[in-house]
Amino acid sequence: RTPDPEPRRPEEGVFPLPLTTRWTLCLSTQVGCAVRCAFCASGLEGLRRNLRACEIVEQFLHASSRLAERGNRLSNVVVMGMGEPLHNLPALLESLAVLGADWGPNFGARRITISTSGVVRGIRRLAEEPEPWNLALSLHAPNDEIRSRIVPHRGLGSVDEVIEAGRAYQAAKNRRVSIEYVLLGGVNDRPEHARELAGRIRGTGFHVNLIPYNPVAGLAYASPPEEAVERFADEVRGSGAVVTVRRRRGDEISAACGQLRLLRAGP
């Protein structure tokens, strides 16, 4: 995690220990989050403020500096930390322009993935930009009934609208679009949910990332058993999609997916 929690700073990012030689930095774009997904720690206190472009870039510079001290360098960036990136689109675009600039880090757009919980207007805006970023759609549900319970923000598109926006982005950029799906035991992890999701994405070419739920203090959700996760993955693969089950990493420091949270550090 960067920077070290001395106390924890709002412009924090996360980079996990690699399994190989690849290092991925997870960038935050806001302090808190207005989407307030029911299973996520980041939105428990709502949105505090947007990060400025310089604060987003600072996370990259901190991580790069720490890795350089160890003789390593960043391989990829995912904009999947605290906040909804497309709710802070001007600062996001400005920070990505700095990261990609010849006079800056010159970090290639193809190594950057932007995640959104379904801000359709923002996805369309990204598609108008020339840079070939990857896009991740945080769907978390196969239908609107379940999605409205666990991703309650009213400014997001429906399941079908988000998928269609992803298809349009993919066609415009010729870049990979992925579905992010947190598996919540007894909520969205049943075989019928997997079959419904598979039917909705059939033929899209989307990559599906399944994320077994990471515990958050004060929330009653639980991760499904491993066999349920594998059964869900097999059902979705029936659509022809490539499916990856994310390995849990960083939960021992509350840095796993869904665990980033603003901690009070005094006045």
Tens digit of pLDDT for each residue in 231-264? 999 999 998 999 999 775 444 433 445 444 444 4
In angstroms and rounded to an integer, the radius of gyration of the C-alpha atoms of the chain is 18
Burial 212-229 (b: 16+ CB within 10 A, else e): bbbbbeeeebebbeeebb
Is 140's pLDDT higher than 50?
yes
Is 71's pLDDT higher than 60?
yes
Residue 199 in tokens: 């039917």
More confident residue, 38 or 43: 38
- The answer to whether the beta carbons of residues 162 and 120 sit under 8 Å apart is yes
Give the Cα separation of 165 and 204 in Å (integer). Answer: 11
pLDDT at 260: 43
pLDDT digits 0-9 by tens, 101-118: 999 999 999 999 999 999
